[in-house]
């Protein structure tokens, strides 16, 4: 049997150098904007997308990797291995997992393809993928890696706020009445990912209060192994949040990441969030 190969989608937001070093295969999401088809992480960067989004008169949409695209990916990898682990964005947020399982079914009897629903997004998913790829390079078995991932999932927390509810409403994450009411009251909703689904945590009235609440959320952890601050256009706020958290956790490395275009479609260009892995 060959070494286990790891596949994910572009919402994992793994740096290109890490992808190359660990031999991870990333299947891009498609973004449809003003009649153009953009491939997340291939022919559009986050900052380019934010600029296009601000100038666009029509809301963009995302399209998950198709069954055909995933089947082609698995076929290519099957030339060098008979074991593939495909780890993707939460099935409650995207049909990618469903498509991956359908694509994998074509290889029964030829290659062992295991599809994992991460129940996560952004670098929460990325942390799983990196851990899986590192374990694969050490020679861990499929069972060992899947067991590792299952343990990690319940210890990764994602909380964020959005400046406008319009993007979530357009992508059917909330209903129209919630978006209208939020706009009328100038609410900045604080949201949390629970069991793979975006759920309301609380409501605040200003971005300053939202940033303060993100800080408080991180402070609730006695310890953590990894912390990532994810931002859109407003990079200064992420630096401010980092400095606040660093006062309490001065010895911890805190990463700052610009979230991907495919997530910006749903959250808008001015969201801010934290991804906390508390370790096991």
Termini Cα distance of the chain:
30
Neighbours of 227 (CB within 10 A): 21
Which pLDDT score, from 0 to 100, does residue 181 have?
Answer: 40
Domains annotated for the chain, with CATH where assigned, are 5-29+64-153 (3.40.50.10170), 156-277 (3.30.1180.10)
Three-class secondary structure of residue 235 per DSSP: helix
- Cα–Cα distances (Å) from 142 to 69, 97, 148, 260, in that order, read 23, 18, 10, 29
Q: Is 203 exposed, middle or buried (0-12, 13-18, 19+ CB in 10 A)?
A: middle
Which pLDDT score, from 0 to 100, does residue 150 have?
Answer: 97
| Mean per-residue pLDDT over the chain, rounded | 89
What would the pLDDT profile of 165-223 be if each residue is shown by its tens digit?
Answer: 666 555 444 444 343 344 434 667 888 999 999 888 888 888 899 999 999 999 999 88
Residue 133 scores a pLDDT above 90: yes
Which pLDDT score, from 0 to 100, does residue 38 have?
Answer: 92
Residue 268 scores a pLDDT above 60: yes
Instruction: Name 61's bridge partners.
Output: 32
Top-confidence range, 53-57, 144-148, 264-268: 144-148
Closest to 113 in 3D by CA, of 19, 4, 215, 233: 4
In contact, 279 and 155? CB cutoff 8 Å: yes
**DSSP character string of 117-156:** E-S--HHHHHHHHHHHHHHHHTT--HHHHHHHHHHHHTTE
Residue 225 scores a pLDDT above 70: yes
Written as six digits, the tokens of 244 are 């606040």
Which pLDDT score, from 0 to 100, does residue 169 have?
Answer: 55
What would the pLDDT profile of 10-60 be if each residue is shown by its tens digit?
Answer: 999 999 999 999 999 999 999 998 888 999 989 998 989 988 887 777 888
- CA 280 to chain CA centroid, nearest Å: 21
Across the range 105-118, mean pLDDT stands at 95
Residue 159 scores a pLDDT above 70: yes
């Amino acid at each position: 049997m060959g070494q286990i190969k790891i596949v994910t989608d572009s919402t994992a937001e793994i740096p290109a150098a890490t992808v190359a070093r660990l031999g991870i295969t990333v299947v891009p999401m498609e973004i449809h904007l003003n009649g153009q088809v953009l491939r997340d992480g291939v022919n559009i960067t986050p900052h380019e997308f934010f600029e296009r989004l601000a100038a666009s008169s029509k809301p963009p949409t995302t399209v998950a990797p198709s069954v055909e695209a995933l089947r082609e990916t698995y076929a290519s990898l099957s030339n060098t291995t008979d074991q593939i682990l495909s780890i993707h964005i939460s099935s409650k947020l995207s049909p990618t997992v469903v498509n991956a399982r359908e694509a994998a079914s074509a290889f029964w009897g030829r290659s062992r393809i295991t599809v994992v629903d991460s129940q996560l997004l952004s670098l929460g998913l990325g942390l799983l993928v990196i851990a899986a790829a590192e374990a694969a390079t050490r020679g861990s078995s499929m069972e060992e890696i899947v067991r590792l991932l299952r343990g990690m999932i319940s210890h990764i927390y994602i909380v964020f706020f959005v400046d406008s509810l319009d993007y979530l409403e357009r992508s059917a994450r909330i209903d129209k009445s919630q978006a209208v009411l939020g706009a009328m009251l100038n609410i900045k909703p604080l949201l949390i990912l629970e069991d793979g689904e975006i759920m309301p945590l609380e409501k605040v009235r200003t971005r300053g209060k939202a940033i303060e609440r993100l800080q408080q959320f991180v402070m609730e952890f006695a310890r953590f192994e990894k912390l990532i601050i994810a931002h859109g256009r407003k990079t200064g706020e992420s630096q401010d949040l980092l400095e606040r958290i660093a006062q309490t956790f001065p010895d911890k490395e805190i990463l700052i990441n610009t979230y991907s275009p495919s997530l910006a479609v749903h959250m808008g260009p001015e969201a801010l969030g934290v991804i906390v892995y508390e370790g096991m």
